[in-house]
Structure 1
Amino acid sequence: MSYPFFDRSQHNWLWLAAVCALPCAASPGFAATVVTLPRVDISTAQEDASIADSLLSGSVVDKSSARMSRLSSPDASSLFRNQPGFSSYGGGRLANLPVLNGMADDRVATVVDGMRINPACPNHMNPALSYIDPDSVETATAVAGLTSVSNGGDSLGGTIDVERADPRFARHGKILFTGRARGTYRSNGGGYSAAGSMTVANDTFSLRYNASYDQSEDYSGGGGIGKVGSTEYLRYTHDVTFGVHKKNHLLVLTFGQQDAPREGFANQHMDMTNNRSTYVNGKYVGDFDWGTLEARGHWQRVTHAMNMLDDKGGHTATKGMPMNDDQRSAGYSIKATIPLGRQHLLRLGSSFDHEGLKDWWPPLTGAGMMGPNTYNNINNGHRDRLGHFAEWEAQWTPRVSTLLGLRNDLVMMNTGDVAPYNMMNAANVNAANTFNATKHGRSDINFDVTALTRWKTTDSLTIEAGYARKSRAPNLYERYSWGQSQMASTMIGWFGDGNGYVGNTNLKSEVGNTASITFDWHDPTQAQRWGLKVQPYYTYVHNYINVRRLSSFTSQVSLLQFVNHNAQMYGINTSGHYTVWNTSRYGKGELTGVLNWVRGQDKVSHTGLYQQMPLNGTLGLNETVGPWTGRVEMNFVKAKDTVDWIRNEPRTPGYALLNLNGSYNWKMMTLTAGIDNVLNQPYYMPLGGILTHDLGNAGTGSRMPMPGMGRSFNVSLAATF
């Protein structure tokens, strides 16, 4: 099957060349004066780091993996692609939604520079990780399953935390001028990216500018599938960071703006035709006699527009269907870390997050049912969350430590009255009248608990076991989406399944109870020659927000309403590494592996939970010889047979992909090259949803799953100065 390819105007390659040429215009001599301010060490004088900051269920993306991920994709979520318990889904190539242990999107606390960012879109086309380009990410951490209450509430599946680098400063009496630049080309889709950063600083003040540019046309599927329509993208990102460092105190302010003029979504009825984010983010970290104080604050405005790009087709006579969102968010977080002697640590914290959202669909002149009035979907809605926590960490013996945390979150939501396009569509008129006749205000009082024990049984085995009670309140669309016609309801939903969704003001908060144990076998010496980590887990969720079928528009498209059910998820994550050789002549060779399995079940409808990744794993061989680093990896995914029949979720066959990449460093330059899907295997993404245009106008199409990307030759040149 082939898909139309539309030639977009090519953007200025001179900008890319200029960024790559930056190092040639600067003197490398300044680099010797750099001082990188270390993060404040809040651990006590223990053998190991703080439990909350080093959970065995967590994984930190290393620099080598990050470099290879940046080569393949401009999406920050790709940084986690080979981490235990992680998967992702979405039709947009800049905006995949994260999944941890089978829990997706809002059920994962996604934090960017300390900010919890809610998607400002009924299709979740602009999730938190889409607002930071991978080149700006300094640290990327994923914690699947048990998470500490200090890492945030209002989530069930875990926490993803990405941070930009702290400002850099010069030695006393010196001036620092340093920077980096990178250009990348990807053959599949003709995509290219450019990113650069410059810093000017003395020993007290630091000023940094970051910029990035990403563009691609539609990609081609593997095995001759052809062009996959609505997979193009274009994005610009700029930010300025100002830092002040004085003794044990650090103040950081970041001002940024991102524009995404277009991004196709093959598994949605709509595409993103503009997304602009403007934000201010501040952080203060101070070390005092009594402990450490960290305070953050942020403000962001997002203006978002959706319509149909040319290759969607189907509504050219009416110029598509414009949909607009205006979101404003603001918040703060304060965390104090107080050592109570050498063996105890107390953390206290408070946070507040405000989300204000207006979602309206302008009328179209001469478009029949899409006028003459504005369709008000979310009319000045807001979601405010106030949270407090206390966390106690204790080191009872050199081998036994515990973590106990309590958290409370108060979530307050409301919205105004709504209105349809006109009075001719009986389904929407009745739905609007019913919605307006009810009180919209809702408050959820949620409590979280985390109790965890770490036991170093031997020098080569550490066991970490615990229990967590986590809660999540519904989002604005789950509660307040109201339209029930096919046209209106199919515009709602971030699942890529082509169905229509309607909200439910009576939804309760989800409450997940998770029990997990992690076995960490490792080399008892400092060589770290081998390691194996195994984590089985079980989660039972009360009031899990799933769906029930209200009616069927066609044989392929249903009207679904969000409802509370009980559900369970269980699985096992496994990761390991083994040093095969380590010699001065042949360098170091290391085998790495990840294996994940999860199963989710709705206990009321007795279906599989939607978008659960089948058994999957990655086996890789890394080699490092002097300035050369190479990797060969195989990704294995079993056939997806357990599906959600209520959503008509398609089954997908199993597949295996071969990927190659390597990098070479010399002086200030790094050349990275790779081949994704070397054998050009055809495959379908198990969590990718369906090609919505394949449904056909009458809804009698085949619900074809999203094809994966075919072979791509990628190359990147990076420089520092």
Structure 2
Amino acid sequence: MKIKVLTLVVLIFALVSNNFSQEKGIIRGYVYDAKAKYPLVNANIWLEGTNRGDVSDFKGYFEIKNLKSGNYTVVVSYIGYRQKKELVSLAPDEVKTIEVYLEELPYFSVEEIVVFGKPSETYNQVEVGGKEITKQIPRDIGDFIRNFSNSSAIKKGGYALDPVMRGVKYDQINVQIDNGVKIEPACPNRMDPPTSHVQAEELEKVEILKGPYALRYGPNFGGVLNFVMAKPERFEGFTVVGRVESGYESNWNGKFGRLTVSGGQKLFDFRISGGVKDYKNYKDGAGNEVQSSFKIKDWSGKFGFNPVENHRFQISIREVYARDVLYPALPMDGRKDDSRVVSLDYLGKNLNGLINSVNLKAYYSKVYHLMDNAFKPTIAMVDAATDVNTKTYGGRSEIGLIVGENVLFVGFDYSRIEKDGFRTRKMKTGPMAGKTFIDTVWQNSYVSNLGVFSELRTGLEGFNIMLSARYDINYAGAITPAPSFARLFGGLSSKHHNFSLSAGVDKVLTSNLQVTLLLATSKRSPNISERFINFLPIGIDNYDYVGNPSLKPEVNNSVDLIVKSKLLGGIFKGDVFYYYVKDFISAKIRSDLMPKNMGVLGVKQFVNIETVKFIGFELGYVSTFSKNFGFKVDLSKTKAWDAVTGEPLPQIPPFEARSTFYYRLFNGGVTPELTIRAVSRKSDVSTSYGETPTPGFAVVNLMISVNYFKFADISIGVNNLFNKVYYEHLNRRVRTTGIPIYEPGRSFFINLIMKVGE
């Protein structure tokens, strides 16, 4: 089989090479922004009706070689710009040079993290479009995050996986919706991380900003995840369009459906969408059933008003209702989780020669969470239920200025998080039988954060430079603390003054080589769990955890070195990073404290560790030599440890390699895609957190997407093609048996989108 595959690959390249060798002409040129006249990097260029093309380099340059004489239509496209076509007549052996100027699209979004000014790598930004998401039918967006380089997720059941990027997690990642909206988990065990309140079918794209360098979007310790929800379409005259989406996944016996209606005209627009999901327990590769069922209902609406050119007002509403979500790794299951998010936005753009943009946002979000142990073995001894809720409200204001050839952003943001709730335990056995205990969970606590920020983008002697700073005042307190918790501390309120700085510089050394250096020192104040959790088993190990209001902010001193090059008919990107973290928040055993929960090993309290270190790399290659055939390869690894004791930090993913191969048939109407993912054995583990080595594995997924029809998109495929038995290192263990939560075995899926009027 391997010999046949190798022979096929050799024949393909031989045919391509032979075809090229018979042709002599060249079309080359440059792609520029029509207004600012700076080069557009990674613009797509191809010859209409052929599979020949290129991608522009760091000077906007492209080149298509070995062409026969004749007339060609050169098509140039770039995200956020109008596509443009150029007619070129080529004589035998002629070299024709053209310049293409693209105009920015007039529609602009209040949802996206948009950087204007000279293109650069000073944010280390990655974007994944909505079509790439929905065609893979991800039942949970946290699970989908695993597809990104050096990204993983903590799994406690079949739904609501918690993202991990470069080994940082939870509030070390700034997770937001539509560029600034935040939603706080209510569950102490994070059954409902922010990603669980976003449905994949509603996404327009995911923006990932790795490292603590983007300080404009709130306190940033280890990166930003911005989930851009689909926005209304724009029409000149009144129009209404719609789509119906439905899918099925075999292993889970999982079904989902969604209806979307959008429309409007130049003055106003709207988009309303709603969906349902019903997934059962899945089976792993050995046929063992994993408790993982869940039910989801959601709806969302966006309503925009465009009174005059370059001004937009928008209101967004989103609600998600989760029911009967099973978590085999936790002492309880999610019976109910309801969330609501409301946001108001204003964006003005190109207001005058000085003010390029004004962005104003106000939002409110709330989560109500109910969990119990009705389907756990402990129900024979105690009837337990936890009823909790959170509220988050805040806003953001930013002005973008153009000062000469410089771009300057200034603004402020504010958020306040409030949490409260109780756990009720009705004892059934033992000397306490018949008694009821009520425990305060969040102790009616809050965290407020007010920040001001600025960012300057400029150029000097061929260097692109970014300088950014923010100053945060962080308040926290517990309004109604439990007496036993209050006795542990002299005071429960705290106030932090956090100053963060970042800088980035990139330089185009040659037409095929760009180098970027990023530096930052960034602070993160502890969250409510780390400050005020009240004797609950919320960690990866079996201990009651207690908060610590005296915690210091974590400080991440970081550096990224990025090299990007056009190489071997494609784009190569390599990134090496190093984090030197002071006052890292961890936990240590308190042998003087007694646990409150049955079956736990003791009590751990959150503390600051003097110094920890992270080091890692991300390597990627994307082929660009053909419009139809392509592949991409990603390699990543992170290593993290306590610099004082030398012990590895917990929940750090192992080395991973991922390859994807595709071929566009029928002019891109049908695209088969094969993905191979290999993960190495994880042996450097944290024994103090109960981690054990994880075996390596390799899985293969196959998908065929069909975009041949104007009225429908179809994707079919199979995940875990060879039905491997495996589990991820960050998967939690089944609480009753200690066995890791294994991943699903072979699972077939189909996703169908029907379009009306689009």
Bin for the TM-score computed over the shorter chain: 0.7 to 0.9
3-state DSSP of counterpart to 1:439 = coil
**Counterpart mapping for 1:60-79 below 5 A:** 60-69=127-136, 71=137, 73-79=138-144
Q: Does 1:283 align with 2:348?
A: no
Give the C-alpha shift of residue 313 in structure 1: 2.8
3-state DSSP of counterpart to 1:170 = coil
The superposition leaves residues 272-327 of structure 1 with CA deviations (integer Å, 9 ceiling, x where unpaired) of 110111221111110211220011111112111111252x3331464x31001121
Equivalent in 84, 105, 113 of residue 149 of structure 2: 84
Q: Does 1:668 align with 2:711?
A: yes
AA of the residue aligned to 1:241: K
Q: Does 1:637 align with 2:672?
A: no
Give the C-alpha shift of residue 636 in structure 1: 0.6
**Counterpart mapping for 1:528-547 below 5 A:** 529-547=569-587
Equivalent in 393, 397, 403 of residue 457 of structure 2: 393
Q: CA RMSD in A?
A: 2.4
AA of the residue aligned to 1:574: L
Q: Distance in 2 between matches of 1:457 and 1:569?
A: 29
Q: 1:549 to 1:366 in 2, by over 3 A?
A: closer
Q: Distance in 1 between matches of 2:369 and 2:144?
A: 25
The superposition leaves residues 15-42 of structure 1 with CA deviations (integer Å, 9 ceiling, x where unpaired) of xxxxxxxxxxxxxxxxxxxx98334899
Contact 1:237 1:258 in 2 (8 A): yes
Q: Distance in 1 between matches of 2:747 and 2:671?
A: 20
The superposition leaves residues 410-435 of structure 1 with CA deviations (integer Å, 9 ceiling, x where unpaired) of 1100013434xxxxxxxxx8x44624
Contact 1:378 1:416 in 2 (8 A): no
Q: What TM-score results when the alignment is normalised by the length of structure 1?
A: 0.84
Contact 2:213 2:503 in 1 (8 A): no
Q: Distance in 1 between matches of 2:270 and 2:486?
A: 54
3-state DSSP of counterpart to 2:650 = coil
Equivalent in 20, 37, 43 of residue 107 of structure 2: 37
Q: Any unmatched runs of 5+ in structure 1?
A: 1-34, 420-428, 484-488, 583-587, 695-702
Contact 1:56 1:464 in 2 (8 A): no
Structure 1 window deviating more from structure 2 (57-66 vs 558-567): it is 57-66
Alignment-derived partner of residue 189 in structure 2: 123
**Counterpart mapping for 1:425-436 below 5 A:** 431-432=484-485, 434-435=487-488
Equivalent in 173, 178, 199 of residue 108 of structure 1: 173
Equivalent in 257, 274, 279 of residue 194 of structure 1: 257
Alignment-derived partner of residue 51 in structure 2: none
Q: Does 1:240 align with 2:310?
A: no
Alignment-derived partner of residue 263 in structure 1: 325
Give the C-alpha shift of residue 709 in structure 1: 1.4
Contact 2:234 2:265 in 1 (8 A): yes
Q: 1:99 to 1:546 in 2, by over 3 A?
A: same
Q: Distance in 1 between matches of 2:743 and 2:601?
A: 23
AA of the residue aligned to 1:340: V
Alignment-derived partner of residue 323 in structure 1: 386
Q: 1:478 to 1:369 in 2, by over 3 A?
A: farther
Give the C-alpha shift of residue 386 in structure 1: 0.5
Alignment-derived partner of residue 415 in structure 1: 478
Give the C-alpha shift of residue 509 in structure 1: 0.6
Q: 1:369 to 1:470 in 2, by over 3 A?
A: farther
Equivalent in 596, 617, 624 of residue 572 of structure 1: 617
Equivalences, count: 636
Contact 2:122 2:506 in 1 (8 A): no
Q: Does 1:590 align with 2:653?
A: no
Alignment-derived partner of residue 497 in structure 2: 445
Alignment-derived partner of residue 554 in structure 2: 510
Contact 2:391 2:417 in 1 (8 A): yes
Contact 1:286 1:294 in 2 (8 A): yes
Alignment-derived partner of residue 296 in structure 1: 361
Structure with greater contact order relative to length (CA < 8 Å, sep ≥ 6): 1
**Counterpart mapping for 1:127-142 below 5 A:** 127-142=193-208
Q: Distance in 1 between matches of 2:498 and 2:455?
A: 17
The superposition leaves residues 518-563 of structure 1 with CA deviations (integer Å, 9 ceiling, x where unpaired) of 001126xxxx951111000100110100111234989984432211
Alignment-derived partner of residue 14 in structure 1: none
Give the C-alpha shift of residue 207 in structure 1: 2.4
AA of the residue aligned to 2:608: N
Q: Distance in 2 between matches of 1:611 and 1:345?
A: 39
Q: Distance in 1 between matches of 2:264 and 2:690?
A: 57
3-state DSSP of counterpart to 1:314 = helix
3-state DSSP of counterpart to 1:607 = coil
Q: 1:529 to 1:135 in 2, by over 3 A?
A: farther
Q: Does 1:500 align with 2:541?
A: no
Q: 1:446 to 1:218 in 2, by over 3 A?
A: same
Give the C-alpha shift of residue 618 in structure 1: 0.5
AA of the residue aligned to 1:275: D
AA of the residue aligned to 2:479: G
Alignment-derived partner of residue 274 in structure 1: 336
Give the C-alpha shift of residue 209 in structure 1: 0.9
Q: Distance in 2 between matches of 1:349 and 1:99?
A: 29
Q: 1:151 to 1:279 in 2, by over 3 A?
A: closer
Q: Distance in 2 between matches of 1:335 and 1:574?
A: 34
AA of the residue aligned to 1:102: G
Alignment-derived partner of residue 528 in structure 2: 476
Contact 2:184 2:391 in 1 (8 A): no
3-state DSSP of counterpart to 2:286 = helix
Contact 2:569 2:624 in 1 (8 A): yes
Q: Distance in 2 between matches of 1:463 and 1:644?
A: 35
**Based on CA coordinates, which of the two structures has the bigger radius of gyration?**
2
Q: Distance in 2 between matches of 1:166 and 1:294?
A: 17
Q: Distance in 2 between matches of 1:149 and 1:43?
A: 14
Give the C-alpha shift of residue 707 in structure 1: 1.0
Alignment-derived partner of residue 693 in structure 2: 651
Equivalent in 133, 138, 143 of residue 209 of structure 2: 143
Q: Distance in 2 between matches of 1:307 and 1:452?
A: 48
Contact 2:544 2:600 in 1 (8 A): no
Contact 1:450 1:466 in 2 (8 A): yes
Contact 2:524 2:555 in 1 (8 A): yes
Q: Distance in 2 between matches of 1:103 and 1:506?
A: 22
Q: Distance in 2 between matches of 1:710 and 1:45?
A: 45
AA of the residue aligned to 1:650: T
Alignment-derived partner of residue 270 in structure 2: 207
Give the C-alpha shift of residue 377 in structure 1: 2.0
Q: Does 1:465 align with 2:517?
A: yes
Q: 1:476 to 1:44 in 2, by over 3 A?
A: closer
Contact 1:42 1:337 in 2 (8 A): no
Alignment-derived partner of residue 615 in structure 1: 655
AA of the residue aligned to 2:342: V
Give the C-alpha shift of residue 92 in structure 1: 3.5
The superposition leaves residues 380-414 of structure 1 with CA deviations (integer Å, 9 ceiling, x where unpaired) of 111111011011110224x4110001101111000
Contact 1:388 1:407 in 2 (8 A): yes
Identity across matched positions, percent: 22
AA of the residue aligned to 1:706: I
Q: 1:555 to 1:195 in 2, by over 3 A?
A: closer
Q: Distance in 2 between matches of 1:43 and 1:243?
A: 19
Contact 1:56 1:518 in 2 (8 A): no
Alignment-derived partner of residue 506 in structure 2: 454
Contact 2:360 2:396 in 1 (8 A): yes
Q: Distance in 1 between matches of 2:460 and 2:655?
A: 38
Q: What TM-score results when the alignment is normalised by the length of structure 2?
A: 0.80
Give the C-alpha shift of residue 203 in structure 1: 1.6
Alignment-derived partner of residue 354 in structure 1: 416
AA of the residue aligned to 2:732: G
Equivalent in 159, 164, 176 of residue 229 of structure 2: 164
Equivalent in 721, 724, 727 of residue 678 of structure 1: 721
Q: Distance in 2 between matches of 1:198 and 1:55?
A: 38
Q: Distance in 2 between matches of 1:510 and 1:537?
A: 18
AA of the residue aligned to 1:377: V
The superposition leaves residues 322-342 of structure 1 with CA deviations (integer Å, 9 ceiling, x where unpaired) of 00112111000011100111x
